[in-house]
Amino acid sequence: MNLKNKKKIAFLYFEPFKQSRYKIDYKDTNDFWSTKNFGSAVLRDVLLKSNIIADVCLPENAHYYDIVLVSLTSHFDVFAFVNATRKNKNWQNRKFKVYAGGFGCQNINMLKEYIDYAFFGRAENEIVDMLEKRGDYEHQSFLRLNKIENVYINQVNLPYSEDVKINFNHLETYKESRLGCPNKCFYCHYTFTRKNISNGRFIYNEFDGASDEIEWCKADLYNPLKPHIITAIDGYSQRLRYSMNRRISDNSLIDFFIEVSAKTECSGLGIKLYNIVGLEGEDESDYYSFIDLCTKLDGRLKKPLTITLQNTPFNPSPVTPMGYSPIKINDYSDYKKNNRIFEGVNIKVQHSLYMDSPYSHFSACLALRYTDKYNTLFNTISFDSKFKALNATDKYDYILNNYDINDIVREYDVTETLPTWYLNTYISNDRIKKLRLKQKEWLNNMGSTNIDENRINELKDMITLLNIVGGKNSISKSKQKAVKYDFYMNNL
Ligand code: SF4
């Protein structure tokens, strides 16, 4: 088939389940590029260089094309994609062929009715040949959805070498300078699916001029002119981090905060600190050991730091050692109610007010561990209007009362078949299983945190008080707060 000279290919534009952080009009196909979807932008660029034009289409006009390309940017996108296409009568009896790919193309078991082919991993060197040969195409990373069999997540040897337009309205371009990560945190899908090719610097400030995204809490990567840092601990305590091969010690974390506060040339520094909660082996002593660490910064910082803890619940990513781990679905709404964690001299630590609900955490895990056994549940979440009208708490209660979710949340033994058994990456599955056993061994050997019960109780009291009256520098002007404070003190 000759793809040139005809407009027969389109990227599919569909609305996500949760509204994107970009201001986008989902009826305006030009806005597709405002999503800054780098993977699609690369493929478009490759196609253009072969004189093949790819449009953008909505589900309702997909039937005007021969080939529709679906970019799944996160594993959670499967709900949004099926929801957007099921409404379209043409989709079920389609003549066009649907190809899926992207970083979120992980568990595709639930997509058998909705797509024809999937390509796993980087496709810039294969896309033209793949689309020209259609169903006759053969590649170890190419899967026909009518038969699920072993596939390999494709790698490239070099970052994409061209400047790529990622936001057409504002003429923004991006050039890839690194791929993968040399660290191997046991939960990280990115590092286990992208071979590392880098320019040696662990810093991302690709899309946001005011922030530096610094990996591994390394103060030497901080640019003193930037008032914001984004970085990640990904586990409250040293023992949790070490058990997952994330070797950031408590002392190096303390040094990081002290150094960036000394180094900054801004009047103060905001730090967004990503963290993973609900990890295997985690208990309340891990949380309080982090708060204890924050109290040790009191009076030691040169410029004010505001640390906002952004918690994400653990998801068991396929082809990672922790793809076998059990999942704890917890309600963290108390983090929102009592979001102030610590306030001292030049330091404020707080929870972000955004936190996944148990329902949204469960849905993400369902996308990763879906098998046909969960087809009815998947359809209920995706399409049932009565279910969709419930609030998040009632949705999760409904699921618990009507479904056995054990195969979604339980631990998998390394001798068992995972729901995503067909995925293979550049590290063999046997090696990944060995790393999983290593993680369990490390977790057992780490023992518990050093914090004792009395200190935990002191910290609990401190947080309660802080959330009633404010920090050291706050003067309560509110009568209501004063009443709460008196009540608290009288009941101590
Ligand atoms: S989570 Fe770990 S492995 Fe993944 S990108 Fe960050 S540092 Fe690298």
**Which atom number of ligand 1 is nearest to the Cα of residue 188?**
4
Pair (195, 238) in one structural domain = yes
Question: How far does residue 128's CA lie from ligand 1's centre (Å)?
Answer: 31
379 pocket-lining for ligand 1 (C-beta < 6 Å):
no
Pair (129, 258) in one structural domain = no
Residue 246 within a domain? yes
Residue 256 within a domain? yes
pLDDT above 90: percentage of residues in the chain: 71
The half-sphere exposure of 116 on its side-chain side, counting CA atoms within 13 A, is 19
Question: How far does residue 390's CA lie from ligand 1's centre (Å)?
Answer: 36
216 pocket-lining for ligand 1 (C-beta < 6 Å):
yes
Kindly report the number of other CB atoms within 10 A of residue 58's CB atom. Answer: 18
183 pocket-lining for ligand 1 (C-beta < 6 Å):
yes
Question: How far does residue 312's CA lie from ligand 1's centre (Å)?
Answer: 15
Residue 311 phi, psi (nearest 5): -90, 135
317 pocket-lining for ligand 1 (C-beta < 6 Å):
no
Q: What integer is the mean pLDDT of 482-491?
A: 62
181 pocket-lining for ligand 1 (C-beta < 6 Å):
yes
Residue 462 within a domain? yes
Q: Which of 8-17, 359-368, 465-474 has the lowest mean pLDDT?
A: 465-474
Q: What integer is the mean pLDDT of 123-131?
A: 96
Give the length of the chain. 492
Pair (242, 309) in one structural domain = yes
Q: Which of 79-88, 147-156, 362-371, 427-436 has the lowest mean pLDDT?
A: 79-88
pLDDT band per the 50, 70, 90 thresholds, residue 486: low
Residue 281 within a domain? yes
247 pocket-lining for ligand 1 (C-beta < 6 Å):
no
Q: Is 341 left (phi over 0), alpha (psi -120 to 50) or beta?
A: alpha
User: Is pLDDT at 207 greater than 50 in this prediction?
Assistant: no
User: Is pLDDT at 26 greater than 70 in this prediction?
Assistant: no
pLDDT for 491 equals 57
The residues that bridge with 229 in the sheet, in sequence order, are 212, 271
Residue 307 within a domain? yes
188 pocket-lining for ligand 1 (C-beta < 6 Å):
yes
pLDDT band per the 50, 70, 90 thresholds, residue 130: very high
User: Is pLDDT at 79 greater than 80 in this prediction?
Assistant: yes
pLDDT tens digits, residue range 304-348?
Answer: 999 999 999 999 999 999 999 999 999 999 998 899 999 988 999
CATH number where 113 lies? 3.40.50
Q: What integer is the mean pLDDT of 31-50?
A: 86
User: Is pLDDT at 215 greater than 70 in this prediction?
Assistant: yes
Pair (143, 291) in one structural domain = no
Higher pLDDT, 481 or 380: 380
Question: How far does residue 374's CA lie from ligand 1's centre (Å)?
Answer: 31
Q: Which of 188, 201, 243 to mutate to test the pocket of ligand 1 (most atoms within 8 A of CB)?
A: 188
Question: How far does residue 31's CA lie from ligand 1's centre (Å)?
Answer: 31
User: Is pLDDT at 194 greater than 60 in this prediction?
Assistant: yes
pLDDT band per the 50, 70, 90 thresholds, residue 88: confident
Question: How far does residue 142's CA lie from ligand 1's centre (Å)?
Answer: 27
For the chain, the domain total comes to 3
185 pocket-lining for ligand 1 (C-beta < 6 Å):
yes
Pair (112, 244) in one structural domain = no
pLDDT band per the 50, 70, 90 thresholds, residue 474: low
191 pocket-lining for ligand 1 (C-beta < 6 Å):
yes
When the pLDDT of each residue in the chain is averaged and rounded to a whole number, the result is 89
Pair (441, 457) in one structural domain = no
Pair (470, 485) in one structural domain = yes
Q: What integer is the mean pLDDT of 120-148?
A: 95
Q: Which of 178, 184, 191, 427 to mutate to test the pocket of ligand 1 (most atoms within 8 A of CB)?
A: 191
487 pocket-lining for ligand 1 (C-beta < 6 Å):
no
Residue pair 248/204 in contact (Cβ under 8 Å)? The answer is: no
Pair (131, 215) in one structural domain = no
17 pocket-lining for ligand 1 (C-beta < 6 Å):
no
User: Is pLDDT at 49 greater than 90 in this prediction?
Assistant: yes
Question: How far does residue 1's CA lie from ligand 1's centre (Å)?
Answer: 42
Residue 160 within a domain? no
**Which atom number of ligand 1 is nearest to the Cα of residue 216?**
7
Residue 162 within a domain? no
215 pocket-lining for ligand 1 (C-beta < 6 Å):
yes
Higher pLDDT, 207 or 74: 74
Q: What integer is the mean pLDDT of 443-465?
A: 92
pLDDT band per the 50, 70, 90 thresholds, residue 484: low
User: Is pLDDT at 1 greater than 80 in this prediction?
Assistant: no
Closest by CA to 180, choosing from 128, 215, 140, is 215
Pair (367, 474) in one structural domain = no
Q: Whose CA is nearest to atom 7 of ligand 1?
A: 183
Q: Whose CA is nearest to atom 5 of ligand 1?
A: 181
Question: How far does residue 285's CA lie from ligand 1's centre (Å)?
Answer: 24
pLDDT tens digits, residue range 256-301?
Answer: 999 999 999 999 999 999 999 999 999 999 999 999 999 999 999 9
Residue 14 within a domain? yes
Pair (199, 344) in one structural domain = yes
Higher pLDDT, 223 or 472: 223
pLDDT for 472 equals 53
pLDDT tens digits, residue range 8-19?
Answer: 999 999 887 665
Pair (433, 457) in one structural domain = no
pLDDT band per the 50, 70, 90 thresholds, residue 206: very low
**Which atom number of ligand 1 is nearest to the Cα of residue 181?**
8
Pair (341, 251) in one structural domain = yes
**Which atom number of ligand 1 is nearest to the Cα of residue 234?**
1
Query: By residue range, what is the domain housing residue 148?
Result: 9-152
Question: How far does residue 194's CA lie from ligand 1's centre (Å)?
Answer: 11
pLDDT for 490 equals 61
Sign of the Cα torsion 72, 159, 122, 134 reads positive
Q: Which of 33-37, 89-93, 274-278 has the lowest mean pLDDT?
A: 33-37
pLDDT for 184 equals 94
204 pocket-lining for ligand 1 (C-beta < 6 Å):
no
